[in-house]
Chain A
Amino acid sequence: MNTNKTVKILKEKKETILELWTTKQKAEDSYFNTDDQKEDSEDFATSFLDALSDATIEDQNSRGYDKVHEVLMGISVSRAKRGFSPRETGSYLFSFKEALLEVLSNEIEDPSILYKESLKISKIIDNMAILTFEGYIKGREDVIARQTDEITEISTPVIRVWDGVVALPIIGTLDSARTQVVMENLLQQIVETGSTIAILDISGVPAVDSLVAQHLIKTVSATRLLGAECIISGIRPEIAQIVVHLGIDLSNIITKSTLASALQTAFNMLKLEVNKKKVTYTNS
């Protein structure tokens, strides 16, 4: 059994602590959402008081707190994702400490014992506060990673411009990772739509160096392996100059200056013709 008085008091006064904590949270947080937070708070308080024992109260790094840390980490991560500031999450935990200390000060009369016990509790909670910070940062990093994925995903749209012709406008710098995504999407779309011609529009690429050119050549080679032809369009005058100055050989790749002329080439290859509609005037 637990012989430590503090442990005993805290375990007995669980209801009071929770009540106090909730009041404090309400006072600090104007957006207090009772249902969600009450559940979180109850989970945390329960696991905290369960973990508290003679052994664990003396050592804030004890393995006994693993479960509590886990619960706390989950709360911090989910709060970070919901857009809480680190200050809010921090004060959420500190208000729990205040509640604990208030209960202790009501029960323990001897100031010197109270001081010692308060210090122990403070140490444990402070240690956990650092953890909420780590959890907060982790939560934000998850959000950032997800957004990065989304951006790379939406920044490489493969457009079906005609039956058998797909176009892929590239906007932004082409690096190896992006080329990989571009290539994957393009090849996948070629296979899915059964297109024989792919147009790669690079008018949105700010600069072309030998590495970018290398990536482009790779993409063209891969589409050829699938059995489709690849046209590179959007070669601006500056890009043409750079390519020639760098000595990059694009001679066995069809290149065009605009998407329109690339599409025209594609039509020619497919033996298609675009004609102006003959307008016939009729009196009605």
Chain B
Amino acid sequence: MERIPILKMGDFLLVTIQVDLYDQLAENLETDLVNSVKKHNSKGVLIDISSVSIIDSFMGRILGNIGIMSRIMGAQSVIVGMQPAVAMTLVELGLTLTGVSTALNVEKGMELLRSKILLSEGQSDDYDNDTE
């Protein structure tokens, strides 16, 4: 069965969605991702959706769920690279994904993820050193 690869990079999990999502694939991703967070004890999840051009309410909800699920498991999550058309569709559908962080690209997403992890660990002193 087709699966979306989940890459481990240190404390982070990296998910790059290169194909248009369909329901089963998205559900599998959800399950795989929470399992991976558990397995690797990850602190952050970065989901790149820059190649996704079509999204429906189901997929929008799954993305939102992934964010919330990883947070209650102690991992921060960031969705990066959403296309303008996709953002407009989600807003029209009333899915503003509150509770999920977003960033323009992978680089900015990583930066955000790092700062969020530092904040959540109460190491705000190191925060400025890390980002500069």
Partner of A225, one of B78, B87, B105: B87
Cβ–Cβ < 8 Å partners of A183 in chain B: 88
Q: Taking the complex as formed, is B97 at the interface, i.e. its CB lies under 8 A from any CB of chain A?
A: yes
Chain A proximity of B106: nearest CB distance (Å): 11
Residue from A183, A223, A226 with most neighbouring chain B CB atoms (10 Å): A226
Kindly supply a per-residue 1/0 record for chain A positions 220-248, scoring 1 wherever the CB is within 8 Å of any chain B CB and 0 otherwise.
01111111100000000000000000000
Chain B proximity of A64: nearest CB distance (Å): 49
Residues of A in contact, count (CB < 8 Å): 18
Tell me whether A222 and B91 are in contact (CB under 8 A).
yes
Give residues 160-202 of A contacting B (CB, 8 Å).
183-184, 187-188, 190-191, 194-196
Tell me whether B91 and A221 are in contact (CB under 8 A).
yes
Q: Taking the complex as formed, is B84 at the interface, i.e. its CB lies under 8 A from any CB of chain A?
A: yes
Interface residues on B, range: 20 to 34
Tell me whether B87 and A187 are in contact (CB under 8 A).
yes
Q: Taking the complex as formed, is B67 at the interface, i.e. its CB lies under 8 A from any CB of chain A?
A: no
Chain A proximity of B59: nearest CB distance (Å): 13
Q: Taking the complex as formed, is B104 at the interface, i.e. its CB lies under 8 A from any CB of chain A?
A: yes
Tell me whether B90 and A225 are in contact (CB under 8 A).
yes
Partner of A188, one of B84, B104, B109: B84
Tell me whether B105 and A184 are in contact (CB under 8 A).
no
Chain B proximity of A209: nearest CB distance (Å): 19
Distance, CA A191 to CA B82, complexed state (A): 9
| Residues of chain B having any CB pair with chain A under 8 Å | 78-84, 86-88, 90-92, 96-97, 101-105, 108-109, 112
